[in-house]
Amino acid sequence: MSSSMSRLLNILSQSLAAVIALKLRSFFCILSIAIGISAITIIVATTEGAFQKAFDIVDIFGPDAVLIVGGSEESRAISRRMKTLTLADADAIRASFGTAYMVVPMSTVRDVAVSYRGNRYSSQAIGSTNNYSVAWSWPVVEGSDFTEEDLKRAANVALIGNETMLELFGTENPVGKFIQVRTIPVQVVGVLMERGASMGGGNLDNRVVMPITTVMKKLQNEAKYIAVMRVRFEDVENIDLRMTELKEFLRMRHRLPDGEPDDFQVFSSKDIIKFLVALTGSLIVFVGIVGIISLVVAGFVLANLFHLSVRERTGEIGIRRSVGAKKRDILYQFLGEALLLTTAGGACGFLLGFAGAKLLQKLADFPIYFSWKAFVIGLMLSWIVGIVFGLQPASRAANLKPIEAIRG
């Protein structure tokens, strides 16, 4: 080890000793930094979570797919989804759009009680056509998808999600077994692969997918209307054009006069990402401002406490200088103290932010994703605060004249 290196280590050991000795100062510095860093950590984790979620969605959704949702934008906003889409619309689209290689209508019933031999669980029933697995690029890992025949007959058959399987069957093989969906006995024909991450709150792996005819007739008592429709196009490059065509086509079919708003909405994967970014964006801005303000405040707290500390410790600075400490030794010692404190504050802030983010995820269903980035960004910011706000008091300490420090 070179002698200047060991000198620096010696000096940093002095910083550490002071940090440990001056407990009250350390506590306030660490606390104030931790608050700022925790806010920043949440932002980073949320931003990353939003991106992660966006990628997941594009992945699941498919870049060549659009989603048509019944009801106008206004009715969606107040969460009263009007029923406007029909099975006939789906058939018409299938017939009229040459490049639409897949048109899958879907209906959803939330909070459906399912049970198997006394094991009860609350799931959601999804009505689909027979190519659900292909339409959503979601492999069936056991058994097989239901058939067109099942669809026509409105058969009591189902694909179940991984979580639903575990809750109802445990380790038992569910294929061929009968479960109760509400009061209807339904035969399990296949199990969907585990998807893992949650999307927009609902757990993806908890679902019972049945022929849409079965869901409409037997669960919804509905003859005509469906909730959503998924259309996949062969020509991804023309997806914007296809969306416009779809809108015009549906307006015609629904006989909407000019000036009347759409009674449906068409989303591409891009729209879903935009929506998510808008949702998380405003919060990111808010927490971001809070985070930056609290970091600046933390910086001033640090600078202030260090100014006080330098004044209180003029004697210490004086004796160090008189036994041979150079100006930069003093500078490094005080800067070292600031950096040790902000690093500790950053680490505490990260833990605090981690806990806060988890809480947000639980309470407000936030997309949260932690990676090394959140930690590194927090650490970098705390170092920047340490250097920016520690430098001035530290250089004041270093530039104290030895005779004045000793006299003081």
Partner 1 sequence: MTALCLMENVKKTFSLGNDVSVEVLKGIDLAVDRGEFLAIMGTSGSGKSTLMNLIGCLDVPTSGRYLLAGREVLGLQDDDLSELRNTHIGFVFQSFYLLPYATVLENVLLPTLYREKGGGHIEKRAVELLHLVGLEKRMNFRPNRLSGGEQQRVALCRALMNDPEIILADEPTGQLDSKTASEIINLLAEMNKKGKTVILVTHDAAIAANAQRIIRIKDGVIINE
Binding positions for partner 1, rule: CB under 8 A? 3, 6-7, 10-11, 14, 17-18, 20-22, 315-316, 318-327, 329, 401-403, 406
Rounded Cα distance between 362 and 359, Å, is 5
Q: What number of other Cβ atoms are within 10 A of residue 276's Cβ?
A: 18
Query: Tokens 């104030």 — which residue?
Result: 32
| Nearest-approach distance from CB 48 to partner 1, in angstroms | 42
- Are the C-beta atoms of residues 125 and 111 closer than 8 Å to each other? no
Q: Please identify, using beta-carbon distances, which residue of 20 and 359 lies nearer to partner 1.
A: 20
Q: Please identify, using beta-carbon distances, which residue of 18 and 100 lies nearer to partner 1.
A: 18
Q: Please identify, using beta-carbon distances, which residue of 119 and 322 lies nearer to partner 1.
A: 322
| Nearest-approach distance from CB 32 to partner 1, in angstroms | 22
Rounded Cα distance between 235 and 354, Å, is 43
- Are the C-beta atoms of residues 46 and 368 closer than 8 Å to each other? yes
Q: Calculate the alpha carbon distances from 286 to 159, 244, 292, 293 in Å.
A: 43, 35, 10, 11
Q: Please identify, using beta-carbon distances, which residue of 91 and 404 lies nearer to partner 1.
A: 404
| Nearest-approach distance from CB 30 to partner 1, in angstroms | 18
| Nearest-approach distance from CB 365 to partner 1, in angstroms | 49
Q: Please identify, using beta-carbon distances, which residue of 21 and 223 lies nearer to partner 1.
A: 21
How, if at all, do strands 208-211 and 119-128 pair?
parallel
Q: Please identify, using beta-carbon distances, which residue of 278 and 323 lies nearer to partner 1.
A: 323
Q: Please identify, using beta-carbon distances, which residue of 7 and 182 lies nearer to partner 1.
A: 7
Rounded Cα distance between 324 and 35, Å, is 39
Query: Tokens 């409105």 — which residue?
Result: 154
Q: Please identify, using beta-carbon distances, which residue of 31 and 406 lies nearer to partner 1.
A: 406
φ and ψ at residue 228, rounded to 5 degrees: -140, 170
Q: Please identify, using beta-carbon distances, which residue of 172 and 404 lies nearer to partner 1.
A: 404
| Nearest-approach distance from CB 24 to partner 1, in angstroms | 13
Cβ partners under 8 Å of residue 207, min gap 6 = 123, 124, 125, 126, 160, 161, 164, 192
Q: How far from chain centre, in Å, is Cα 71?
A: 27
- Please report how many Cα atoms fall inside a 13 Å half-sphere around the Cα of residue 399, on the Cβ side: 6
Q: How far from chain centre, in Å, is Cα 332?
A: 41
| Nearest-approach distance from CB 324 to partner 1, in angstroms | 2
How, if at all, do strands 184-192 and 157-160 pair?
parallel
Q: Please identify, using beta-carbon distances, which residue of 322 and 392 lies nearer to partner 1.
A: 322
| Nearest-approach distance from CB 15 to partner 1, in angstroms | 12
> What is the chain's Cα-based Rg?
31
φ and ψ at residue 176, rounded to 5 degrees: 95, -15
| Nearest-approach distance from CB 393 to partner 1, in angstroms | 18
| Nearest-approach distance from CB 60 to partner 1, in angstroms | 59
Cβ partners under 8 Å of residue 344, min gap 6 = 19, 26, 30, 33
| Nearest-approach distance from CB 301 to partner 1, in angstroms | 22
- The full DSSP string for 315-333 is HHHHHHHHTT--HHHHHHH
Let me know how long the chain is: 408
| Helix segments in 62-137, DSSP class H | 73-77, 87-96, 132-135
